[in-house]
Structure 1
C-alpha cells in the first residue's frame, strides 16, 4: 500500500536498524505517527524469526528489506545447522521469510517506486561483512553466486535494470571504503581491533553505479552496531562522500529500551528532497508515539541561531 504523500517532492524515509526480535505492533503504529512514506529494513530480524518477518511484511506502507546474517542463522553454517530448532527436511525458515517479503526483499534485486521516481537496490543478502566471504554457500545455493566479483556483478545488474536514475542502496552490512578505524561506519571493533569490515562487492557495485551517472543520495545499512565492544566511544553513524552520497549506519542496538517505565523505540529518519538528502536523524519514540529525543546526524543547511 502506497503512502498518501506520493505526489510530494519531499520523501520521508524511515530506516529500521538490526531488529534482533525487537519488533512489536506498536512499531507499526509509530511509523504511521511519524508520517513516513517509505520504510527500509536492513535485516537481522532475528535468528530466522519468521513471525517477526510476517508482522513486518503485513505493514501497510511502502517498504524494502534485505536479509542479514542472522536471518539464515540455522541454515548458512554447519555450526548453525547443529543448533537448528526445526526439522530442516520439512521446513525452510529462510525461504518462508523470503516468501513473506516477496518483492519487498531487494537482496540482489531492485524495487522501483514510480511515485517518487526512484529505485531501491539491495546488496548481498545474508552478509556477515568483511573482505573474507562468510556465509558464501547460501549465496551459491540460492543465487548461483560463487565469488565476490560475481556478487558485485549481480548487484550491478540490478542497478542496470532499475527504472529510475535515482538509486537508494540498501544493504545489511555497508560497503568497503568508509574507513578502517574501529569507530568508522563499518570499522572492525573486535580483536584484532581495526580494519575496514565493509563489503567489497557492495562497494564495487556502488562505484560502478556512480561511474554510470546514477544519482545516489543514500546508501543505508546496519550490522555493525553503534555501541563498540572495546570502548565507550560510539560508532560514527554517517559519512558524506565527495559525490554527496549519505552513507547511514542505522544499527542502534538494542532498538527498544525501557527507561523509567517508558518503552522507547528507535528509527533513523531521512528526508529526501528533489533527489537529495537534506536531513538524517536518529529518533526515539515513546509510549505516546511522539518523538521523545532526536539526534540530528546530518543536515544540508545548518540552523541559523538567533542573534
Structure 2
C-alpha cells in the first residue's frame, strides 16, 4: 500500500546558518509541519555546539557540510588562526561524528516511505571551476580532482535504493548562469562568471542517464544579498529544461530582529507525486506563525484538454 507520505511531501531547506540556530528553530519546524529538513551547511566556523543542537533535531533530516565547517582545517591561513590545538582536537570530525548517517556529503540517505534518496555533493565546497581548498577531500575521502569528485557523488546515486533523487550541496552546480545575480553567479570583482561546482553538475548529468527522477537540487553558499549591489537580489530558483528545480536557500542572515520581534527564515518545498509544486521562502515570527512568504516557484496546473 502506498503511504500518504509518498503522495505529498513538505520539505524545509535551511540555508547557511552561520551560528544562527536556536531552540526556537526546531519548534518552528514542528509548527510548519515539515516531513524532512535539508541543511546545506555553513553552521559556523567549525561550530560543534551548533551542529550538536541540529543533530538532536527530532525530524528526518539530511545534512551536507560547508566551507565554514572546515574553516580552521581546510586552508593554511585558516590553520594559522585555529583557536584549538589540532594535535589534540578535531572539530571537523566532531561535527561529522555528531551528524552520523545524516551527513550525506559524498554519500546518500534513503527514505523508502517516500521513494526518495537524498544524495550529497562535495562536502566543504568553496565553489568555483577550480579544484581549490580541496586538500580536505583528499585527506578525508581520497578524492584528488573534480573528475574523481563527480564520480564519487555518482557512486552514491548508483547505490540509491529509491527512484527519486534530491541532491543537496553546499554550493550549487555549474550551468545555472554566469551573471552575478544567477543562483551561483560570481558577485565579487571581477564581477560575473559561473561559480557553481562542475563536479556536482557532472554527477547530476550522469544521474539523468540512469532513468532516475530528480525533482530538486538545493544548496546555499552564494548568499541572496549580492556583494556588489543592493539593487537586485540573487535569483533563488532555476528550472532546467528537464524540469529540475534548483533552489538556492542562502538567505543570510537567517534570523533578523524587526521592531523587537525575532524572525527566522526557512525555504519550503512542496512535492506532490515527487514533482515540485511550490518553492518559497517564509519568515516565522515569535508565535511560530508565518509572517511573510515569498513564492519563488509555483507549478502551473496541468491543462486538461477538452473533448
TM-score (normalised: structure 2): 0.96
Task: State the alpha-carbon separation in 2 of the partners of residues 205 and 234 from structure 1.
Answer: 28
Q: Does the C-alpha gap of structure 1 residues 119 and 83 become closer, same or farther in structure 2, counting only changes over 3 Å? A: same
SS of the residue 1:157 aligns to? helix
1:136 CA drift (Å): 1.1
Provide the aligned C-alpha RMSD in A.
0.9
Residue 8 of structure 1, CA deviation: 4.9
2:252 corresponds to 1:253: yes
- Report whether the alignment pairs 1:30 with 2:28: yes
Secondary structure at the counterpart of residue 30 of structure 2: helix
Written as runs of structure 1 = structure 2, the 5 A alignment for 1:15-94 is 15-94=13-92
**Separation in 2, partners of 1:213, 1:239:** 22
Among 147, 166, 169, the alignment partner of 2:164 is 166
Cα distance in 2, alignment partners of residues 7 and 34 from structure 1: 16
CA separation in 2, counterparts of 1:301 and 1:182? 28
1:211 is displaced (CA, Å) by 1.7
Q: Quote how far apart the aligned CAs of 1:132 are.
A: 1.2
In structure 1, the residue matched to 2:273 is: 274
Distance 2:122 2:163 in 1: 21
Residues 43-88 of structure 1 deviation map (CA, whole Å, 9 limit, x = unaligned): 0000000000000000000000000000000001110111001110
Measured in 1, the distance between the counterparts of 2:233 and 2:113 equals 37
Q: Distance in 2 between matches of 1:211 and 1:297?
A: 28
Match of 2:191 among 178, 190, 193: 193
> Any idea what the Cα deviations from partners look like across 1:85-112, whole Å, max 9, x if unmatched?
1110110000000000000000000000
> Runs of 5+ in structure 1 lacking a partner?
303-307
Alignment match, 1:264: 263
SS in 1 for 2:300: coil
In the other structure, the counterpart of 1:283 is 282
Offset at residue 301 of structure 1 (A): 2.5
SS in 2 for 1:112: strand
Residue 305 of structure 1 corresponds to which residue in structure 2? none
Per-residue deviation at 1:134?
1.9
Change in Cα spacing, 1:38 to 1:144, as seen in structure 2 (3 Å) is same
CA distance in 1, matches of 2:297, 2:16: 21
- After TM superposition, give the deviation of residue 7 of structure 1 in Å: 3.7
Question: Could you tell me the TM-score, scaled by structure 1's length?
Answer: 0.96
> Is 1:100 aligned with 2:114?
no
Number of aligned residue pairs: 298
Instruction: Please say if 1:146 is aligned against 2:169.
Output: no
CA deviation digits over 1:109-147, x for unaligned, max 9? 000001111100000000000001222100000000001
Q: Take 2:241 and 2:286, find their aligned partners in 1: how far apart are those partners?
A: 40
Deviation per CA, 1:141-167, whole angstroms, max 9, x where unpaired? 000000100000000000000001200
Q: 1:241 maps to which residue?
A: 240
